[in-house]
Amino acid sequence: MTKKLRVAAYARVSTDKDDQANSLDNQRTYFSKYITQHEGWQLVNVFYDEGISGTQTKKRKGFMEMIAEAESGEIDLIITKEVSRFARNTVDTLSYTRELKKFGVGVIFTLDNIDTRQSDGEFRLTIMASIAQEESRKTSERVKWGQRRQMEKGVVFGRDLLGYTVKDGKLYINEEEAEIVRTIFHKYTNEGKGTHVIARELQEEGMRPKRIALWSNVVILRALKNEKYVGDLMQKKTITPDYLTHKKKYNRGEENMVYIKEHHEPIISRDLWERTQEELLRRSPSEKQKSKYSNRYWCSGKLFCAECGRRYISRIRKRKDGSASKTWRCIAAAQYGRKKQDADGEEIGCDNTSVNEESLKTCMNYCISLIQSERESLKKEILEEINYIRKKQDQTLDVKKLEKQIDQIALKKTKAIDLMLGGIISKEDLQSQTEWYNEKLEHLNKELADAKCREKLDNSQTDIMEQYIKALDDIMDIHGDNELIYKEVLERIDLHKGNILDIWLKEIPVGIRLKIKTSGKKASYKTEILETTFIEK
């Protein structure tokens, strides 16, 4: 008996449509009938996705499961109704059908009458996929145009926010949350408090933000700048420039925003809103200050608390003699103090200690000097690892040898067919011989795939090791205490309790754990390195 073709079907249905022709049950029935009409076919599965755009295959779970099963040899043929159901992106359509073809899997588009196994299949598929993609673009343009007209009429697009509920395109005040909004504006504008202080006080008072666990200065700032609280409505703050990827981005002038004044019932007065915007402008740093800030702190964004995982932020205090003292502190400790529970039982704060700026510089200088002194021994270890990898590669199956064996068996298969046609062997002998060749080819192809994967991995490891050696040589050229150099070579620092720091330098295969001790007055800190340990990345 001839082995039956294992056939899978793919359907994509839109959950927001009631059209029975597009329903999942209808398509399952359709595919079952279609497959049973063909002798030698058997239905493996009907894969499907609901309410997912056809322009992005990566987000379609059913589609990706089908591709994975096809590539693992569990499917011989895929049936789908039309190109637009398979994908509306021409590149994806062609790349996936070509990839499937490599594994011997064809795709039939029943309504478009296209079979990728045929010689003209790809040419016809390209035309139909391009038409489907163009239709998707036109649909996107029509939807955008319709949404904009609705926005201009005052229809609200979006979800609930702190203080408001969105229902049927309108904003309704949530009085319980609106009181929190009024508190934020009052504390900032009337009481003159900072955003960090407001965040801490709201948390301690048991007031909760929307959809997140904790308040932060960023959340407070967004609330203070949100025009909805004064009754105005601005839409198109974010846009989707690419209808294929559907990725949103902030609207930086690419499209005109839709602004409607006095659109809905406000939570705060116009006077308080205007005074708040003036206060935000007054407190915001100038472009010169921002540039100075970002250039000044060599370790900004690279210090992390090993206890709670949050970032460390800088704190600058003026001494009595007029000089400045800079320390770094966990942001959770800076906002909420020591570790504790708030009114709702949520854990806030952090017990980790702060670290002085000068101590960090001392540790960086020490680590660079240590790497310089240990350079030769580290290079020796890396070279030994590279030699081990290359030796292991020589001992494994050779890729070219496997490819040659596969070609030889494929040639024997062809010759066996010629022998059958010449009457030297029977059809039964040919079938038996072909099955043996197929099993052998399957085994060799698996070995080849494994060998290629190992080869790729080993080559990648070797490249990384060689980068390590180059990085070690580059560090030899570093001399003296220089913040610009520290910024360039530092990857990150993890700070533990008990004055323990894990320092990770870029492209260096190990980290350095330091236990330090600080002494002296704030005006003249001294840092002593007590213990040093190399740790693996």
- Supply the pLDDT for residue 22: 52
Out of 154-158, 178-182, 437-441, give the one with best mean pLDDT: 178-182
pLDDT tens-digit map of 327-377: 899 988 888 888 887 766 777 889 999 998 888 988 888 887 877 777 676
* Lowest pLDDT segment from 3-17, 49-63, 379-393: 379-393
Q: Do the Cβ atoms of 304 and 495 come closer than 8 Å?
A: yes
| In the predicted structure, residue 397 carries a pLDDT above the cut 70 | no
β-strands 500-505, 490-496 pairing: antiparallel
Quick one: what percent of the chain has pLDDT higher than 70?
73
pLDDT tens-digit map of 198-256: 988 898 888 888 878 788 888 899 899 999 999 998 887 776 665 555 566 776 667 77
| In the predicted structure, residue 520 carries a pLDDT above the cut 70 | no
SS3 content of the chain, % helix, strand, coil (to 5): 50, 20, 30
Which are the contacts of 489, defined by CB distance < 8 A and separation ≥ 6?
368, 475, 478, 505, 506
| In the predicted structure, residue 537 carries a pLDDT above the cut 80 | no
Q: Which residue has the higher pLDDT, 196 or 393?
A: 196
- Supply the pLDDT for residue 273: 93
pLDDT tens-digit map of 57-94: 556 788 888 988 998 889 999 998 887 777 656 667 77
Q: Is 73 exposed, middle or buried (0-12, 13-18, 19+ CB in 10 A)?
A: middle
| In the predicted structure, residue 532 carries a pLDDT above the cut 60 | yes
Q: What is the DSSP letter of 3?
A: P
Confidence bin at 21 (pLDDT 50/70/90): very low
Confidence bin at 400 (pLDDT 50/70/90): confident
Q: Do the Cβ atoms of 338 and 307 come closer than 8 Å?
A: no
Six-digit token string for 131: 């038409």
| In the predicted structure, residue 521 carries a pLDDT above the cut 70 | no
- Supply the pLDDT for residue 54: 43
Confidence bin at 319 (pLDDT 50/70/90): low
Query: What stretches of 297-398 show up as alpha helix (H) in DSSP?
Result: 331-336, 357-373, 375-395
| In the predicted structure, residue 172 carries a pLDDT above the cut 70 | yes
| In the predicted structure, residue 17 carries a pLDDT above the cut 50 | no
Determine the Cα–Cα distance for residues 513 and 75; give it in Å rounded to an integer: 52
- Supply the pLDDT for residue 352: 92
Q: What is the pTM of this model?
A: 0.42
- Supply the pLDDT for residue 179: 94
Radius of gyration of the chain, Cα coordinates, nearest whole angstrom: 33
- Supply the pLDDT for residue 473: 61
**pLDDT, mean over the chain:** 78
- Supply the pLDDT for residue 55: 45
pLDDT tens-digit map of 143-155: 778 778 888 888 8
Q: Do the Cβ atoms of 14 and 23 come closer than 8 Å?
A: no
Determine the Cα–Cα distance for residues 377 and 250; give it in Å rounded to an integer: 50
Query: What stretches of 229-330 show up as alpha helix (H) in DSSP?
Result: 270-283, 287-296
For the segment 498-502, the average pLDDT, to the nearest whole number, is: 92
What's the sign of the alpha-carbon dihedral 287, 293, 295, 300?
Answer: negative
- Supply the pLDDT for residue 500: 93
| In the predicted structure, residue 497 carries a pLDDT above the cut 60 | yes
Q: Which residue has the higher pLDDT, 380 or 260?
A: 260
pLDDT tens-digit map of 267-300: 999 999 999 999 888 877 655 545 444 445 778 8
Which amino acid is residue 265, in one-letter code? E
pLDDT tens-digit map of 87-134: 656 667 777 888 888 888 999 988 888 888 887 777 777 776 666 667
- Supply the pLDDT for residue 91: 65
Q: Which of 167, 145, 170 is nearest to 156 (CA)?
A: 170
- Supply the pLDDT for residue 293: 47
Q: Which residue has the higher pLDDT, 189 or 376?
A: 189
- Supply the pLDDT for residue 459: 60
